[in-house]
Amino acid sequence: MSTAKTSKDVMALMEKEKVEVVDFRFMDFPGMWQHFSIPATAFEEDMFSEGLGFDGSSIRGWQAINESDMLVKPVPETAFIDPFTQHKTIVLTCNICDPITGEDYTRDPRNIARKAENYIKSVGVADSVFVGPEAEFFIFDDVRFDQNEHAGYYFLDSSEGRWNTGRDEGPNLGYKPRYKEGYFPVAPTDSLQDIRSEMVLVMQAIGIPVEAHHHEVATGGQCEIDMRFAPMVSMADNMLKYKYIVKNTARKHGKTVTFMPKPLWNDNGSGMHVHMSFWKDGKNLFYGDGYAGLSETALYAIGGLLKHAPAVLAFTNPTTNSYKRLVPGFEAPVNLAYSRRNRSAAVRIPMYSNSEKAKRFEFRCPDPSCNPYLAFSAMMMAAIDGIQNKINPGEPLDKDIYDLPPQEAAKVAKTPGTLRGALEELERDHDFLLKGDVFTPDVIETWIDYKLTNEVQALDLRPHPWEFALYYDI
């Protein structure tokens, strides 16, 4: 576990651990962790302040080829020893800077989250934003997929998938979770306890506090590991480490992990419920004597989040696959309402504890395909807008939303049904994100254009296997 706070701490850690390789990591625009490495003998302390050059034109959504040179500046407090490399490697998360002006790069997702944290302090709303994501994922044994001009398919398999109850496994022992009944059974039905425990122990070894882990609702290896809440930028950093550890631990055991929101049809998808609270002078601003123990500030924050949720989803649910999960049923929070216990509402107020320390709201729409720096920042900016403009969230919806009479249900706003719909909402409603120069117009425009061109339109052009089942013989 690294306790490095300064560049000198990192240099001392490298000497103590006999580090051989230094790995520089940063987040690309859509949300994939990138890296390059240098020998430890080539690493110098002044790289923390002066940075190290690389080609930004090869990173998705970044610089044009004629403006390709960029700098990575490592952040000392992010240092950790990589638990998976053969040669002793220290990992440093980096900020991205322009080599000519020295300014932080506007399309660097980590820079956007840093600006968001600074903005909430500068306007006096709060001095800390705490975030706690609950990311779900599937652990599969095999994945195959292809798409070309004349064929397209995917194939997934899991030894605990319900679809394998009749497979000859020599012998088949039969302990496979039923569809939608994978939540909390003990071993042998839960076959992934030891792998999840190993993931948790690796996380703790590099300094990520973990609160719980368990099997999730779906068959076929759906799991969840919950990290302890942390300040927003630190939690986004931890989210990248989380995915790295989960994927590489699974690979070590000959398995594969996906954070796709909906890899399996007709069973629960993977969400990432995000808990959030604002603090100032050591006090939780969301704690009060209103509905569900919330303060007026918290209710205004919820009002802002619900108002801007259709646009926020362009960042918190940023894939075409995200909207295969956000459909009625399957516990999906498609209703833009809030409630203290209703899990079908987009915003829930957990009631496990009514203490000041624990009071927060939970945004249930996000999924783990998101870029956490952008997702958390967009949520925070929507909540700030609600506080600044005293946006009333309306009455809570504590009934079963799916049992409401049609006339009453029609009054409840819904999440967009597609990524295209969310991007259109973002294009219409993004002024709240531009405050404090947190998200710039260039970032918004580039995000919408990248997603439409590379994902939405790319998918629209390709036939779907189910279309052959529906239409081949017409």
Q: Tens digits of per-residue pLDDT, 274-296?
A: 999 999 999 999 999 999 999 99
Task: Render 399-465 in DSSP notation, one character per residue.
Answer: S-GGGS-HHHHTTS-B--SSHHHHHHHHHHS-HHHHGGGSS-HHHHHHHHHHHIIIIIHHHHTS--H
The predicted structure's pLDDT at residue 65: 43
State yes or no: pLDDT of 353 exceeds 80: no
Torsions phi, psi of 62, nearest 5?
-105, -140
Catalytic residue set: 55, 134, 136, 216, 224, 273, 343, 362, 364
Tokens of 335: 């209703």
Residues in the chain, overall count: 474
Sign, CA dihedral 6-11-17-22, equals positive
Residue 329 pLDDT:
59
Please state the rounded mean pLDDT for residues 97-116: 93
Average pLDDT, stretch 301-311?
A: 98
Q: What pLDDT is attached to residue 1?
A: 65
pLDDT at 66 exceeding the cut of 60: no
Question: Degrees (nearest 5) of the Cα angle 396, 214, 330?
Answer: 45
- pLDDT for 71-80, tens place per residue? 999 999 999 9
The DSSP symbol for 67 reads G
* In the chain, % of residues over pLDDT 90: 86
Cα 126 from Cα 123, distance rounded (Å): 8
pLDDT at 176 exceeding the cut of 60: yes
